[in-house]
C-alpha cells in the first residue's frame, strides 16, 4: 500500500474466525501491520521466500464487507457464524473457575501443562456424552475414552487429520456447498476437493458412489483419501444428513477402500444445537469397530467458542499418529479450559446450557423463517426458496437465477445501503475444478443478532432484493 504504510490492518472484530476462512477465495497474499506504520524506505529490500503451501494461503474478499460493517454501526450482520452473546456462560464459568483455582491442588493441576491427547477426566466425560447422544451403552461400542483426542477447536483437528492422511494432489470428496473454512484449508494444502450434490437429506449417496466409481474406472482411486461431511445442520445450508444415508455412505466408502482406507470425517459441530425432534445418530453407530469414521465435535457452538476446545472420536488406526502430530504442534490444548469443561459436564452445567441455547436459537430461527416468509418469499414466489433447518445457526437462501449475490453484484451494494449483510454464497463452495459456482445464494445466520435484529435484517434484505428484482425485470409470478 502506498503513502508510507506497509500492509493493511484489517479489523476482524465481530466477524469471527470465519473471516480467516473466507480469505480462502482470493489468491492474494497480504501483510498485516498491527498498528505500526513502516515507511516504505524502511522496508527490508529482501523478501521472505514463501513455501508453496504458504503461497497458497489466500486473502478474503470479505475484507471489503468487514470494512463496510465497521464503517456502519447500524448495519445488521446476518453474516457471522458467531454464537449468541447474551447466552454465553459467564457466570457458570466464573463459579467453576473459582472452585478450581481456590483449591491449591486442583489449581496446580489445571495451570500446569496437560496431556497431548487431552485430560483423562474430560475424555471420560466426553465419552459418556457421546454414548448418551447415540443412545448406546458403553458396552455396545468397541471404542473407549482412549479414542478421544481433545484439540484447540475442532478446526485444529480437521487440520491435523488432513495433515496426517493427505499428500499434495490427493482427493477429498466433500459436499456442494460445504464448510468453506475447511475446504479452503484443503485447497491450500494442495488437495483436490471434489464435491457431491446435496438435497434436503444431505449428501446424495448415489452421487458419491458415482464419483468414486469414476476414480476407480480411470485408475485413480488411490488418490482419494477422505470424504468430508458436516452432518448436522450444515454450515452453510442448515441441512442435516438423513440418518438412513449414514450406513449407506459408510458402505460405499468401505467398498472403494481398496488399497487403503478412505477416511470419513463426520464434522458434527452443530450436533447439540438441535431444536426439537431427535437428532440422528452419528455414523459411528455403524462404524462399531472404530475403523473409518472420525467424529468431530466442539464446545464452540453448544457452550462457548472462547474455550476453543474441540474433540474427536478417532479411528483406532489413526489415533497414535494424530497424537504425535499434535505433540509436534502444541503438545496439548489449554489445560485450564479442559478442567473447566470437564467440571461443567460433571455438574450438568453443560447440559443445562445446551437446553437454554436451543430454546433461544429456536426462537431466532423461527423469527428468521417467518420474516423470510413475510418480506422475501412474496417477491418472486416461484423462484425464491430457503432451507428450514432443524438446528444450527444458518438458513440458505436461493434467489432467482441470474441474481448475483456476490460482492460486485448490485444486490450487495443495495444490501449495504439498506444496512444488512449476509455471506454471499459463492464463498461457501469448494474449489472443485469440475464445477461452476452458482451466484444466486446467500448464507444467513441468526447466531449473533437479537430476534428483533433478525427480523429487521430480513426486512432490509427484502427491500434490497425487491429493488434488484425490479431493476432486473424479475416480476412477481
Ligand X SMILES: Cc1ncc(COP(=O)(O)O)c(C=O)c1O
Residues at the interface with ligand X (CB under 6 A): 81, 153-155, 179, 230, 235, 267, 269, 298, 300, 305, 310
Q: How many residues does the chain have?
A: 477
Q: Which residue lies nearer to ligand X by CB, 141 or 232? A: 232
Output the CA–CA distances (angstroms, integers) from residue 22 to 50, 159, 291, 446, in the order listed.
Answer: 21, 16, 33, 19
For residues 273 and 392, is the Cβ–Cβ distance under 8 A? yes
Q: Which residue lies nearer to ligand X by CB, 119 or 234? A: 234
Q: What are phi and psi of 240, to 5 degrees?
A: -105, 135
d(CA 121, CA 105) in angstroms, rounded, equals: 15
Q: Which residue lies nearer to ligand X by CB, 304 or 342? A: 304
> Which residues are 228's β-sheet partners?
265
Half-sphere exposure of 187 (CA within 13 A, CB side): 26
Place of cell 469440475: 434
Half-sphere exposure of 129 (CA within 13 A, CB side): 29
Q: How far is the CB of 456 from ligand X (least distance, A)?
A: 24
Q: How far is the CB of 1 from ligand X (least distance, A)?
A: 30
Q: Could you tell me which of 279, 304, 314, 338 has the C-alpha nearest to residue 120? A: 338
Residue 219 has a CB neighbour count (10 Å cut-off) of 8
Q: Which residue lies nearer to ligand X by CB, 179 or 292? A: 179
Residue, CB closest to ligand X:
153
Q: Which residue lies nearer to ligand X by CB, 155 or 192? A: 155
Q: How far is the CB of 442 from ligand X (least distance, A)?
A: 17
Q: How far is the CB of 105 from ligand X (least distance, A)?
A: 30
For residues 297 and 312, is the Cβ–Cβ distance under 8 A? yes
Give the CA-trace dihedral at 102, 103, 106, 111, to 10 degrees.
Answer: 40
Q: How far is the CB of 181 from ligand X (least distance, A)?
A: 6
Q: How far is the CB of 152 from ligand X (least distance, A)?
A: 7
Q: Which residue lies nearer to ligand X by CB, 233 or 407? A: 233
Q: Could you tell me which of 279, 254, 136, 149 has the C-alpha nearest to residue 202? A: 279
Q: How far is the CB of 466 from ligand X (least distance, A)?
A: 31
Q: Which residue lies nearer to ligand X by CB, 15 or 464? A: 15
Amino acid at each position: 500500500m502506498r503513502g508510507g504504510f506497509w500492509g493493511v490492518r484489517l479489523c476482524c472484530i465481530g466477524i469471527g474466525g470465519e473471516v480467516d476462512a473466507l480469505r480462502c477465495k482470493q489468491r492474494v497474499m497480504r501483510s498485516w501491520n498491527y498498528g505500526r506504520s513502516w515507511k516504505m524506505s524502511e522496508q527490508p529490500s529482501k523478501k521472505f521466500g514463501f513455501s508453496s503451501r504458504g503461497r497458497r494461503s489466500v486473502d478474503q474478499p470479505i475484507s471489503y464487507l468487514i470494512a463496510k460493517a465497521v464503517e456502519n454501526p447500524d448495519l445488521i450482520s446476518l453474516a457471522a457464524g458467531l454464537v449468541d452473546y447474551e447466552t454465553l456462560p459467564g457466570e457458570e464459568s466464573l463459579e467453576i473457575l473459582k472452585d478450581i483455582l481456590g483449591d491449591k491442588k486442583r489449581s496446580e493441576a489445571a495451570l500446569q501443562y496437560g496431556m497431548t491427547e487431552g485430560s483423562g477426566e474430560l475424555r471420560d466425560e466426553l465419552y459418556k456424552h457421546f454414548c448418551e447422544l447415540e443412545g448406546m451403552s458403553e458396552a455396545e461400542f468397541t471404542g473407549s475414552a482412549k479414542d478421544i483426542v481433545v484439540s484447540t477447536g475442532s478446526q485444529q483437528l480437521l487440520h491435523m487429520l488432513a495433515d496426517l492422511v493427505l499428500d499434495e494432489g490427493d482427493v477429498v470428496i466433500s459436499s456442494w456447498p460445504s464448510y468453506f473454512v475447511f475446504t479452503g484449508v484443503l485447497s491450500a494444502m494442495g488437495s483436490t476437493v471434489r464435491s457431491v450434490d446435496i438435497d434436503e437429506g444431505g449428501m446424495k449417496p448415489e452421487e458419491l458412489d458415482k464419483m468414486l466409481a469414476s476414480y476407480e474406472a480411470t485408475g485413480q482411486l488411490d488418490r482419494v483419501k477422505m470424504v468430508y461431511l458436516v452432518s448436522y445442520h450444515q454450515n452453510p445450508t442448515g441441512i442435516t444428513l438423513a440418518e438412513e444415508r449414514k450406513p449407506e455412505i459408510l458402505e460405499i466408502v468401505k467398498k472403494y477402500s481398496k488399497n487403503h482406507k478412505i477416511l470419513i470425517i463426520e464434522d458434527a459441530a452443530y450436533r447439540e444445537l438441535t431444536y426439537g425432534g431427535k437428532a440422528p445418530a452419528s455414523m459411528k453407530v455403524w462404524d462399531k469397530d472404530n475403523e473409518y469414521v472420525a467424529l468431530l465435535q466442539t464446545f464452540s457452538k453448544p457452550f462457548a467458542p472462547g474455550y476453543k476446545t474441540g474433540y474427536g472420536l478417532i479411528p483406532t488406526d489413526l489415533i497414535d499418529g494424530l497424537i504425535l502430530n499434535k505433540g509436534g504442534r502444541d503438545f496439548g490444548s489449554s489445560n485450564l479450559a479442559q478442567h473447566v469443561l470437564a467440571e461443567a459436564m460433571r455438574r450438568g452445567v453443560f447440559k443445562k446450557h445446551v437446553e437454554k441455547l436451543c430454546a433461544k436459537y429456536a426462537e431466532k430461527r423461527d423469527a428468521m423463517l417467518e420474516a423470510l416468509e413475510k418480506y422475501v418469499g412474496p417477491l418472486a414466489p416461484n423462484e425464491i426458496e430457503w432451507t428450514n433447518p432443524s438446528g444450527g445457526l444458518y438458513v440458505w437462501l436461493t434467489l432467482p437465477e441470474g441474481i448475483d449475490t456476490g460482492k460486485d453484484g448490485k444486490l450487495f451494494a443495495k444490501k449495504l445501503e439498506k444496512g444488512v449483510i449476509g455471506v454471499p454464497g459463492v464463498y461457501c463452495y469448494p474449489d472443485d475444478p469440475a464445477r461452476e459456482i452458482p451466484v444466486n445464494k446467500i448464507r444467513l445466520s441468526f447466531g449473533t443478532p437479537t430476534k428483533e435484529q433478525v427480523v429487521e435484517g430480513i426486512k432490509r434484505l427484502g427491500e434490497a432484493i425487491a429493488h434488484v428484482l425490479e431493476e432486473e425485470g424479475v416480476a412477481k409470478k
